[in-house]
Structure 1
Amino acid sequence: MNSRSVEIGLFFLRIMIGLIFVLHGWSKFEGGISGAVGFFESMGIPGFLASVVAIIELAGGAAMILGLGTRVFAALFIILMAGVLFTAKVDQPFIGGTEFDYLTLAGSLTLLFTGSRFLAVDQFIARQSKVQNASS
């Protein structure tokens, strides 16, 4: 397998992980954040964290799709998914849709360790920086 194939595979993973988080963040705001706040509070988690999570999901997912700060947002998504798995779904290992959360966690871990350079804003910025440094 060549590195181009790996990069294209990571690109699709980055897009899907980003899209999943954008949609989850958007859904928390769409009907009003109060529903998410109530859900958080019902688990003993401070309600204001619902807004923090929704913003990370929405903004981080969009950045992930663009390939901007991929590893940073992957790390934040890992923290979010660990929080989900150890609070809301701790009593449901690998049942009732929890598999999806584990896959999202695994995808985020993969992107944390590998990054994703194909069609990524980060890669474009790095190239521009090299060009500017070379011409200085």
Structure 2
Amino acid sequence: MKTSFLSRFAVAPLPVPSGWYAVPLRLMVGLGFMQHGYAKLARGPDAFIAILHAMGLPFADLLGWATIAIEVVGGLLIVLGAFVPLAALPMLAVLLVATLTVHLPNGFSSIKLLSYDAAGAHFGQPGYETDLLYAAGLLALCFGGAGPLALDSYWVSRREKERLRN
């Protein structure tokens, strides 16, 4: 029985080589983390550290700088597809802390449209939805691999070629 075009694409993956799902996922997750770290740097790390102090978090100075470094460096490593499982661990820790200390009390939804007027849309505090999406993306990359155009893939193939030569 011949399958229709629609049914073939409705239930099967798109006809692209295996692993290519990871490229846009790496870019989105990595650049997203880098943007969050850059925003903290652009406003001044002291502003972010002051927020951590106001929240009563211990070791706010260390935690502030560590968060910025993890977001910027970890994000870059994810974009490059380098040391993905290793980079993901501290990034997941940052997400867990953000979820528990900031977003959990606001509920699930990250977009809470409160009103709209001549000035534009007005939103409430974001929930933990985006944290879970980032965590899911990181875990997918850890379980499925960094994919093509990744330094991890290059290093694995290089090691495999050397092993076959010897």
Task: Report the TM-score, using the length of structure 2 for normalisation.
Answer: 0.74
Q: Which has the higher contact order (CA 8 A, sep 6+)?
A: 1
Between Structure 1 and Structure 2, whose CA radius of gyration is higher? Answer: 2
Q: Does 1:105 align with 2:117?
A: no
The Cα offsets for residues 88-134 of structure 1, whole Å up to 9 and x where unpaired, read as 12211213332222211221222222222211101111111222233
Q: Percent same amino acid among aligned pairs?
A: 25
Tell me the distance in 2 between the aligned counterparts of 1:122 and 1:130. Answer: 12
Task: Report the TM-score, using the length of structure 1 for normalisation.
Answer: 0.88
Structure 2: state its 5+ residue gaps. 1-12, 110-124
Tell me the distance in 2 between the aligned counterparts of 1:26 and 1:57. Answer: 8
Match of 1:121 among 127, 151, 166: 151
Change (3 A) 1:70 1:4: farther
Q: SS at 2:105's partner residue?
A: coil
How much is the aligned-residue C-alpha RMSD, in angstroms?
A: 1.9
1:107 counterpart letter in structure 2:
G
Q: Does 1:23 align with 2:35?
A: yes
Structure 1: state its 5+ residue gaps. none
Change (3 A) 1:121 1:27: same
Provide the residue aligned with 2:99 in structure 1. Answer: 85
